[in-house]
Amino acid sequence: MRSVPTPEILRDRGYSIAVIGGGITGLAAAMQARQSGAEVHLFESSSRPGGWIRTTHEDDWILEWGPHSVLPTSPTLIRLAEQVGLGDSWRSARKNASKRYIWRDNSLRALPSNPLLIPFSRALSPLGWARLVAEPLIGRGGDEEESVRSFFRRRFGVEACRYLADAMVAGICGGIPEQLELNSFSPRLKEWEQRYGSVLMGFLRSPRPTGVPFQGTGTLQQGMESLPSALALELGDRFHPDTPVTAVERSKNGWKLFLDGAYPTDTIQVDGVIMALPAFVAGRLLTPCFPRVAEALNQIPYASMTLVQIGYDPESCSKRPDGFGFLVPRDQGLPILGTIWSSSIFPWRAPDTKSLATIFLGGTRDPGVVDESDRLLVDRAISALQSVHGQGLIPVMTAVGKATAAIPQQCLGHGKRVTTIRSELLSHPELVVAGGYMDGISLESCARSGEDAALQVVSHLASRQE
């Protein structure tokens, strides 16, 4: 189901919809449900909206602790920003942000930003690139549960799989290619193979988005958290922070939600429910009513991520940051997943004359990192940056953030688990589970998942009286 206008089709019908979870999925769902004319309540267990979208301002540093930016292929996010008055707040990345690297054999290797630059890239060997560009000659294959590793090896060759697939997966979800199911992790790649017989041909034939308020990669001037904050403000007193939902049970006319309040009678009766929660939290709430759904939800693993922000003087570096950042394949000796050169992309994120880097550690590759001390994490991040930029790099600002169980991993069998969840809930279309583990982990996919969930609930409620 795709988002389409629902101009107050529930107005004056007395229907109410509860959204549980105040991340971007829940906020998008609440906005869509409100547009239908339903009475909407959004319950968030923490004190702030946005989930893992978090921005802090430390003196003259703007630190992003979740998504740093969005792509032009993000119409849902762009529309939501417009709805809450942030349409003029989008800012484009610097042109050099198209430069991206991998760390290989103790040096940064530039990835080609267009096919004409492939002969000049040392990210792969000449034979590795030759095998990659021969991808259109490879026949269709694979199955529904093919891994990302198997797909890349089959279509692009061993070397591209070893370095590019490993780095890509680390940068997107902190995962490991052989554990992830391609159809769930990146269904577009499989779609291109089936439709065009080639991933490269599918990419080249895909239409480019138009009417985007930024060029290349974009962000919001005051930080990505300004979007969920503005959405919550737009919802007004229908956004309920510090209000965990502790139980959900069927009632005669819908659903009863039990809230973590001062009294046992803190409940609310609603006609529809949208669960925009981590899989394991949704599983706990759904166990009494839908044990098979809960079992499938509880089988979805999560990766923790640790971020270290380092501010430094680029003049002291032998290799200055120039581009978006770099990713690190597993066997390349650096104990990090990758680095975003935040102020190289968006200069206002650091004070004049200074640079800001965001270093990612942990994920499925190194799950114990999240339990290490801040001091050890900072030392590890500084050592990695010095390997890249030279020993002259001296930090002038450091900060550490930990995101425990933050990113769902779409491991082998994930598609079947999602199918089980959807099929088991078909008998109750007024209750929908939404989020990154259902429809894709990108910020755009999460927002779209919330809107589609709201459309399903609204359409079902509207049909009751037709």
Please state whether the predicted TM-score (pTM) of the whole model is above 0.75: yes
- Separation in Å, CA 77 to CA 40, 83, 357, 362, 415: 20, 10, 25, 28, 25
Rounded Cα gap, residues 203 and 123, in angstroms: 20
- Please determine, for residue 31, whether its predicted confidence score (pLDDT) is greater than 50: yes
- Please determine, for residue 194, whether its predicted confidence score (pLDDT) is greater than 90: yes
pLDDT of residue 466: 55
- Please determine, for residue 3, whether its predicted confidence score (pLDDT) is greater than 50: no
pLDDT of residue 172: 95
Confidence of residue 50 (pLDDT cuts 50, 70, 90): very high
pLDDT of residue 355: 98
- Please determine, for residue 8, whether its predicted confidence score (pLDDT) is greater than 80: no
pLDDT > 90: what percent of the chain? 92
Phi, psi at residue 5, to the nearest 5°? -60, 135
CB atoms closer than 10 angstroms to residue 19: 37
pLDDT of residue 99: 95
pLDDT of residue 282: 98
CB atoms closer than 10 angstroms to residue 466: 5
Confidence of residue 263 (pLDDT cuts 50, 70, 90): low
Domain boundaries, given as residue ranges, for the chain: 16-52+221-300+410-463, 124-205, 302-408
Q: pLDDT tens-digit profile of 112-137? A: 988 889 989 999 999 999 999 999 99
The mean pLDDT of the chain is: 95
> Would you say 258 and 20 are in contact if contact means Cβ atoms under 8 Å apart?
no
pLDDT of residue 6: 61
Q: Which class in CATH covers the domain with range 16-52+221-300+410-463? A: alpha beta
Q: pLDDT tens-digit profile of 418-449? A: 999 999 999 999 999 999 999 999 999 999 99
- Please determine, for residue 262, whether its predicted confidence score (pLDDT) is greater than 60: no
- Please determine, for residue 4, whether its predicted confidence score (pLDDT) is greater than 80: no
Using left for φ > 0, alpha for ψ between -120 and 50, and beta otherwise, residue 365 falls in alpha
Q: Can you tell me the mean pLDDT for 385-393?
A: 96
Q: Can you tell me the mean pLDDT for 332-336?
A: 95
- Please determine, for residue 95, whether its predicted confidence score (pLDDT) is greater than 90: yes
pLDDT of residue 14: 82
Inter-axis angle of helices 443-463 and 24-35, to 10 degrees? Answer: 30
pLDDT of residue 116: 83
Rounded Cα gap, residues 341 and 123, in angstroms: 19
Rounded Cα gap, residues 276 and 27, in angstroms: 9
Rounded Cα gap, residues 138 and 161, in angstroms: 15
> Would you say 415 and 440 are in contact if contact means Cβ atoms under 8 Å apart?
no
Rounded Cα gap, residues 339 and 361, in angstroms: 9
Q: pLDDT tens-digit profile of 266-290? A: 999 999 999 999 999 999 999 999 9
Name the architecture of domain 302-408.
Alpha-Beta Complex (3.90)
Rounded Cα gap, residues 457 and 441, in angstroms: 22
Closest CA to 229 of 350, 18, 76, 81: 81
- How many residues can be counted in the chain? 466
Q: pLDDT tens-digit profile of 131-169? A: 999 999 999 999 999 999 999 999 999 999 999 999 999
pLDDT of residue 19: 98
The rounded radius of gyration (Å) of the Cα atoms in the chain is 23
> Would you say 223 and 26 are in contact if contact means Cβ atoms under 8 Å apart?
no
Name the architecture of domain 124-205.
Orthogonal Bundle (1.10)
